[in-house]
Each structure stands twice: as C-alpha cells, then as structure tokens.
Amino acid sequence: MKTNPEENAWFRLRAHAASRLGGAFPDRVLRLAHGCPPRAWQRLGCVAADSLRPGFAERVIAAARERLELPSYGSQLALSALTAAACLAAVILFHHHELAAADARNLAEWRRIVAAAQDLDAGAR
C-alpha cells in the first residue's frame, strides 16, 4: 500500500475498476472500434508481446513519474503576477473606453446647452 492517502485512494479505485472490467475488455473495445477479425488481433498481440521486455509498462510509468515536475513557487507567483497584470490592463482599457464615451456624451450635451443659450441671447437682442 502507498503511504500517501491520495495515491492509496487512486490505487484502490484503479484496482476496483480493473476487477469489474474483466480480462477481455480491452480486446473487445479494440475489436469493436477497429473492426479487425479476432485472429488478426491475436497475431498482433503475439507480435507486440514478443517485441516488449517484461515490465515495460511499469518502467514507462516509473520514468514518467520521475520526470513529473510540480510547479515551483516562483512559477506560480509569476503566473499570478501575469494574470493580475492582464486583468489590470483589461480594467484600464475598459475604464478608458467608458470615460471617453462619457466625455463625448457630456460634450454633446454641453454643445446643445450652449446652442440653446446662444439662441436665447440672439432672441433677446
């Protein structure tokens, strides 16, 4: 058993799932997916089994686990900083766009008010 509770849970889940599928499950899935006759799959399986040394799958999984890198604190910090910078840039651009639109609306309104005031001044003279 594994000492890590998460690994232990995954191990038990895989073992339980494998016990429920049965031994011929992968063969049936491949045959249905590819439509090859069973005899061709048997020959292919024999050739593949002869080509691989015993323990191949375990060695591949062990090598993959050794090369697995967890993100460092620095990389997480850099990603957080980049995300914050992107969010800040989006907020600034949105604010600038909204501010420009509000200025345009206000200027148009003031032009209308000035035009109305000029009309009143011209009529009063």
Residues 62 and 90 in one domain: no
pLDDT average, residue stretch 8-18: 80
* Residue 49: inside a domain: yes
Q: Which domain holds residue 33?
A: 5-67
pLDDT at res. 107: 95
Residues 57 and 102 in one domain: no
Residues 83-117: tens digit of each pLDDT: 999 999 999 999 999 999 999 999 999 999 999 99
Residues 63 and 10 in one domain: yes
pLDDT at res. 69: 79
Report the domain count for the chain.
2
pTM: 0.39
28, pLDDT greater than 90: no
Output the average pLDDT for the chain. Answer: 85
Domain boundary pick from 67, 94, 115? 67
pLDDT at res. 97: 95
Residues 63 and 104 in one domain: no
pLDDT range class, residue 125, cuts 50, 70, 90: low
* Residue 75: inside a domain: no
Residues 63 and 94 in one domain: no
- 21, 13 Cβ separation under 8 angstroms: no
Residues 105 and 57 in one domain: no
* Residue 74: inside a domain: no
pLDDT at res. 35: 72
Residues 63 and 26 in one domain: yes
Q: What DSSP assignment string belongs to 54-111? A: TTHHHHHHHHHHHH--PPPHHHHHHHHHHHHHHHHHHHHHHHHHHHHHHHHHHHHHHH
pLDDT at res. 47: 83
Residues 16 and 63 in one domain: yes
